[in-house]
Structure 1
């Protein structure tokens, strides 16, 4: 009955969902493409193998080591990766090319999920982090497809949201065949929502198993050589409301470090042009990565308006600020800069990565700031004191290395279900 009511509400809301899709297509034309896939028609599906679902860019990047390992371990099994957003789709193709099949996940209506599963005939479904849909999970159960939640995370805020619809989600969580979750507190939250204790393992976060590729490090070194010996800091995955704070901080920083370069990487591509205008309005000289030219000594901001290059941008920097944290967004992946040995800055809103950010903060690798003044001051301190910055960066790398191994534990669990 709960899923019936949920599906009925979904159907009633479908005109609004399509209207929102049209609006997003107006803002970002990529949303206007491949609509049939959202109704389980078309797409590059590879039947009879492993199905991985990663909602967008962050989850696709997190899934990459797992997908590559699965391709190596089970070369006889095709892999299909689904997502929900054009940026996620672009990231998947950039990461894997034609090694994997790829399509958008259809809307969560029973007959659409049933059609996708019938076409895909997966031996296992692996869902990254928290992208759970009641009908998707139920239809996998109906078809006898085991469902794994990989790298599961559940913040207190998200858990409270799920509790408000516990009548709907408790059967969904109880139906999962295995949950590989990041931490003990998150395991408790999952169990409070109906997950079975015997089907749950604390594996740690596979994001700790991140290893920057030699190509990324080499590319970043080439860029830095072209930029001269100037100081570089990055503000990555920023959201609306944060760019203004970052630019204000950079203006303050330039008073003490006139040759400092800011790499500004907005989280969403549809904001690239708007952020470029903000930079110009702030009176700062700008070069866009999409222009294909390197910043000169007179350029003060490099706008990272490209896809799939975030790690290379990080590898160019001396200090990193991770966005989504000055506004109530919950933060983004703090381990990417930490793995590269960068001292890390965050705003106060880091509830999506609370355990990870606390580990880094307690080790001295992360500093929390609340406004432009504090951001400029801490970036300036680390640029002035390279020994302190290096110690913070090394502490972050030590945290990353000490917590590695989650990927192997996850792969072992998946292997038992295949």
Structure 2
């Protein structure tokens, strides 16, 4: 497949795209809003000539935030435009930069040549920065036609994804060759990009900027104050975060087993996607768990056994509330989520076996003794119980995680140095 055929198929698929938007809007009404932006129409007024950063959704927006803040400091005359593809990503961007007048925001239009051209002509950026692996052939080509350098920041590419890209070499190879900088997390991933067609002189191993996460002491203090308010200073609290469909039942099963030996244990359950908040709450109720909703600020007393984390932008704070953490998207074949956030808080980290999106990071944490993988509800319950009953082991895992974080910091500075050469 080449870009011409890809573009033709994209146009033919627009009715399917419309149906998909409609179906998503039934669960999350925000998908029905700002649809014109997705085609490059109705874009808000914007200062031209700045830096454009694309972060597809919530996770990438949070990962990009330290980089964006540094760009604001280093280029005080430049506006920074941050785009995404999802309503939750949009909400997070607006919340993260609510008090920064130089941040501009809209949805990134679909990867159609005319929509991309309309967007770029409206914005006229000096530099485009794409977070992780959100690669769109027409957007990248339209930038190349206008002489706009494109950088891939914090790039990652699993073997599975590389095989998928390789099947469409006629599309992938020219696209990667048009990138001016590929700042990649590991050497193994960098080599995959080179094999797929990236120019070797443009590929740089910078590490993961997620290691450069810094924890605000005020956040930890606020979490401690809330635990005191709950009168839960010594109550065992564990969190299952970023869960996907098919995982919640397993986690609730594990929690039920845990309650047999630690009847006062509290589970903080945080679904990955907000459209699942209500269904997961119903699941908790159906299974007989006394459940409070974080969004309603309901009291968490001794009778509550599950707190549903149904808010956006609070995950780090919810991790800080817990003694033991489980990172979801890993009991099902989703590839896992960011293991470094709980590690940065010195929490012991548990996950399922499906971590193909974070193989190198998982290997580092596992090797250091900061990560334990489990396969099912029995294994999860056993692991959580052990860490409750052996707090020294839990503390040792937490300390090991912080050590891994500190040993791998510096990626953000290396990335910013690479971007400085392109601005």
Shorter-chain TM range is: over 0.9
Question: How much does 1:219 deviate?
Answer: 2.2
> Tell me, what secondary structure is at the counterpart of 1:265?
strand
Mapping for residues 192-211 of structure 1, pairs under 5 Å: 192-211=195-214
- Please give the residue correspondences for 1:287-366 in structure 2 after superposition, counting only pairs within 5 Å: 287-366=292-371
Counterpart in the other structure of 2:35: 35
Task: Name the counterpart of 2:279.
Answer: 274
Which residue number in structure 2 is paired with residue 165 of structure 1? Answer: 168
Please give the per-residue CA displacement for 1:205-250, whole angstroms capped at 9, x wherever unaligned. Answer: 0000001223422321221112222111000000000000000000
CA root-mean-square deviation:
0.9
The answer on 1:101 being equivalent to 2:104 is: yes
Unaligned runs of 5+ in 1: none
Once the 2 structures are TM-superposed, how far is the Cα of residue 46 of structure 1 from its aligned partner?
A: 3.4
CA distance in 1, matches of 2:374, 2:388: 16
How many pairs are equivalent?
Answer: 418
1:150 to 145, 150, 153: 153
TM-score by length of 1: 0.99
TM-score, with length taken from structure 2? 0.97
Decide which moves more: 92-101 or 268-277.
92-101
Q: Deviation per CA, 1:76-117, whole angstroms, max 9, x where unpaired?
A: 000000000001001111111152111001010001101100
Aligned equivalents of 2:409 and 2:299: distance in 1?
Answer: 35
Superimposed CA distance per residue, residues 321-374 of structure 1 (whole angstroms, 9 cap, x where no aligned partner): 000000000000000000000110111100001100110001000001000000
Aligned to 1:175: 178
Q: Work out the CA distance in 1 between the residues paired with 2:76 and 2:216.
A: 22
Is this contact kept in 2: 1:82–1:105, CA < 8 A? yes
Residue in structure 2 matched with residue 52 of structure 1 by the alignment: 53
Q: Distance in 2 between matches of 1:237 and 1:216?
A: 20
CA spacing shift, 1:268–1:3, aligned 2, 3 Å: same
**Residues 226, 294 of structure 1: 8 Å contact kept:** no
CA shift digits 1:29-76 (9 cap, x unpaired): 010111111011234433210100000001000000000010111110
Q: Aligned residue for 1:243?
A: 248
**In 2, are the aligned partners of 1:265 and 1:305 still within 8 Å (CA)?**
yes
Task: State the distance in 2 between where 1:294 and 1:405 align.
Answer: 41
Q: In structure 1, the residue corresponding to 2:125 is in which secondary structure?
A: coil
Conserved in 2, the CA contact under 8 Å of 1:285 and 1:300?
A: yes
Structure 1 segments, 4+ long, off by >6 Å, are none
Is contact 1:180–1:410 with CA below 8 Å preserved after alignment? yes
SS of structure 2 residue aligned to 1:106: coil
What is the 5 A alignment of 1:5-20?
Answer: 5-20=5-20
Give the corresponding residue for 2:217.
Answer: 214
Out of 111, 117, 137, the residue aligned to residue 140 of structure 2 is 137
